[in-house]
Structure 1
Amino acid sequence: MALLLAGFAWWARWALDPAFPQGFPYLTFFPAVILTAFLFGRGPGIFSAVLCGVLAWYSFVPPVHSFSVTRGTSITLAFYLGVVTVDILLIDWMQRGNEQLMRERERSEQLVAHSQLLFSELQHRVSNNLQMVGAVLSLQRRGVTDPTARQALSEAAAKLQTIGRIQRQLYDTSGAPLAPDRLLPDLTRDLIETAGRPGIDWEVDVPPGIELPTGSAIPLALVLAESVANAIEHGFAGREEGQILVAMAQQGSMLILSVSDDGAGPPEGFDATTSNSLGLRIARTLAEQLSGDFSLTAGPDGGAMATLRIPVQSATA
Structure 2
Amino acid sequence: MVLPHPLYAYLLSGLLCLVGLGIRLVTADMVPSGFPFLTFFPAVILSSFLFGVRPGIFAAILGGLMSWYFFIPGGHSFSLNPAVAMVLLFYSGVVAVDITLIHFMQNANFNLAVERERNRVLAENRELLFHELQHRISNNLQVVAAMLSLQRRQVDHDAARRALDDASARLALVGKISRELYDPSGGGRDMQAFLSTLVADVIEASGRRDIVVAVSVPGEVRVETHVAVPLALIVAEAVANTIEHGLPDRAGQILISMEEEGGRQVLRVVDDGRGLQPGFRIDGQSLGLRIASALATQLGGSFALEAAPGGGACARLDLPAPPR
In which range does the TM-score fall when normalised by the shorter chain? 0.7 to 0.9
Give the direction of change, closer, same or farther, for the CA distance of 1:199–1:116 in structure 2 (3 Å limit).
farther
- Pick aligned residue for 1:175 from 164, 183, 186: 186
Instruction: State the partner residue of 1:147.
Output: 158
Q: Is the 8 A contact 1:201 1:242 kept in 2?
A: yes
Distance 1:157 1:296 in 2: 28
1:220 and 2:228 aligned: no
Alpha-carbon distance in 1 for matches of 2:31, 2:320: 75
The Cα shift of 1:2 comes to 1.1
- Asked if the contact 1:283–1:294 (Cα under 8 Å) also holds between the matched residues in 2, the reply is no
1:55-204 aligned at under 5 Å gives the runs 55-170=66-181, 172-175=183-186, 178=189, 180=191, 183-192=194-203, 200-204=211-215
1:5 CA displacement: 0.9
For 2:9, the equivalent position in structure 1 comes to: none
Give distance in 1, aligned partners of 2:208 and 2:57.
77
Number of the residue aligned with 1:260 = 270
Structure-2 change in CA distance of 1:268 and 1:50 (3 Å): closer
% of aligned pairs identical? 45
Of 35, 38, 45, the residue aligned with 2:49 is: 38
Distance 1:91 1:55 in 2: 23
Choose the corresponding residue for 2:302, options 263, 277, 292: 292
Change (3 A) 1:42 1:274: closer
The reply to whether residue 244 of structure 1 matches residue 254 of structure 2 is: yes
> Structure 2 CA distance, aligned partners of 1:254 and 1:7?
70
Give the SS at the match of 1:19. coil
The verdict on how the C-alpha distance between 1:285 and 1:19 changes in structure 2, with shifts beyond 3 A counting, is closer
Alignment RMSD, CA only? 3.2
Number of aligned residue pairs: give it: 311
- The one-letter code matched in structure 1 to 2:282 is T
Q: Which residue of 2 aligns with 1:52?
A: 63
Matched residues in 2 for 1:114 and 1:186: separation?
29
2:313 aligned residue: 305
What is the CA–CA distance in structure 1 between the aligned matches of 2:29 and 2:260, rounded to whole Å? 79
Question: 2:188, 2:67 → 1: CA distance?
Answer: 67
Q: Cα distance 1:311–1:88, how it changes in 2: closer, same or farther (>3 A)?
A: closer
Q: 1:269 to 1:93 in 2, by over 3 A?
A: same
Q: Give the 3 Å change call, closer, same or farther, for CA 177–170 of structure 1 in structure 2.
A: farther
**Ranges in structure 1 where 5+ consecutive residues have no aligned partner:** none
Give TM-score, length-normalised by structure 2.
0.81
CA 1:129–1:270 in 2, change beyond 3 Å: closer, same or farther?
farther
Q: Give 1:273 shift.
A: 2.7
Deviations 1:243-268 (A, max 9, x none): 32101245557654221234x53586
Mapped to 2, the partners of 1:312 and 1:10 lie a distance apart of 70
Structure 2 vs 1, CA of residues 108 and 274 (structure 1 numbering), >3 Å: closer, same or farther?
Answer: closer
Say whether the 8 Å CA contact 1:226–1:279 is kept in structure 2: yes
Structure 1 residue 88 displacement after superposition: 0.7
CA–CA separation in structure 1 for the residues paired with 2:103 and 2:118: 22
